Structure formats: structure tokens, C-alpha cells
Amino acid sequence: MKRIAISLAALTLGAVAAPLGALAEIAPGDVQFDDYGAVETSLTGSSGNADEGRKIMTEKSLGNCVSCHAAEAYADVPFHGEVGPWLDGAGSRWTEAELRGLVINPKKTFEGTVMPAFYKVDGFNRPGDAYTGKAAPADLPPILSAEQVEDVVAYLMTLKDE
């Protein structure tokens, strides 16, 4: 009887652990893009935090999206850029999967864009070591973490047309 209880406990724990493992973070090299650059699957297995996404987008030390993109939703943040499109209505123009793909690697959708890939670690042309003028010593980390990407996507989804 004791062995049966232990076996059932092990099976139960295994069943619980499997879904948790399925929620593991997707590494930059494992991201699956569709033919148009969209990424259907959340990098973290859950939705992001829109408030954190706004902070990431508007702080120069984080995503720094504000340097290229303007939006009425963060008009209180100074020095909006004019290189990228306005983000007002982004959540209406693009799906969550399309926005995720654009943040992860916009060149999968818009080949000639100057927007950086925020969740990419390889395939760069001559990456530098900060501002030293030397080559990078190893693979570069992504600009944003998987959680930060999901936070930015959650915030962009709030920017809907009225």
C-alpha cells in the first residue's frame, strides 16, 4: 500500500511539473517566427505587465523606445523621436503576435528597418564592446529580457484607437 501511495505521489508531481516546464522562458535562439515575422507564443508563458512596459519604453536606460517613437499616451515624457512611426493605435493596427515579433526582431517583418532587435543574441555585423572601439568579447546578451519584451507588448496592446 505504501508503494502505491508513493507511486501515485510521484505521478502527481510529474504531472504538475510538466506544465510548469512548458512555461519555461523561450531563449532568443529558439523563438519561432511565422512567415510575416509574428511570434504567437509568449516568451514567458504569460502576459506581461503594461505598467512595466510603459516604463521600459519611456526610460532611456531601458528600452529607450521613446527616442524613435512618439505617442500621446506618453506625451509627458520629453524628447520623443520621429524616426519610427507614432505608436498611437498600435494595439489596433497589429495583433499581439505581430507586436511581439516587432519587438523581438523587427527585421523579420520590415527588412530595412533601423529599429534594433530587442531579443536577439547573434547574427550581428561587427558588434562592439560598448563604446571602447573594440570587438565584443563574446555573444551579446539581448537588450531586453523575455519578461521585459512581454511587458512592452502588453503596453503596446493598450494603445488602441478610440
Q: Return the bridge partners of 90, or none.
A: none
Strand partners, 94: none
Domain range list for the chain? 24-158
Q: Does the domain at residues 24-158 carry the CATH identifier 1.10.760.10?
A: yes
Q: Write the pLDDT tens digit of every residue in 117-148.
A: 999 998 877 778 777 888 887 778 899 999 99
CA Rg, the chain, in Å? 19
Instruction: Go through the chain and tell me how many residues it has.
Output: 162
CA distance 101 to 82: 21
Q: 83 — alpha (psi -120 to 50), left (phi > 0) or beta?
A: alpha
Predicted confidence (pLDDT) per residue in 66-101, tens digit: 999 999 999 999 888 999 999 999 999 999 999 999
Query: Residue 72's pLDDT is what?
Result: 93
Q: What is the pTM of this model?
A: 0.81
Question: Residue 87 CB: number of other CB atoms within 10 A?
Answer: 23
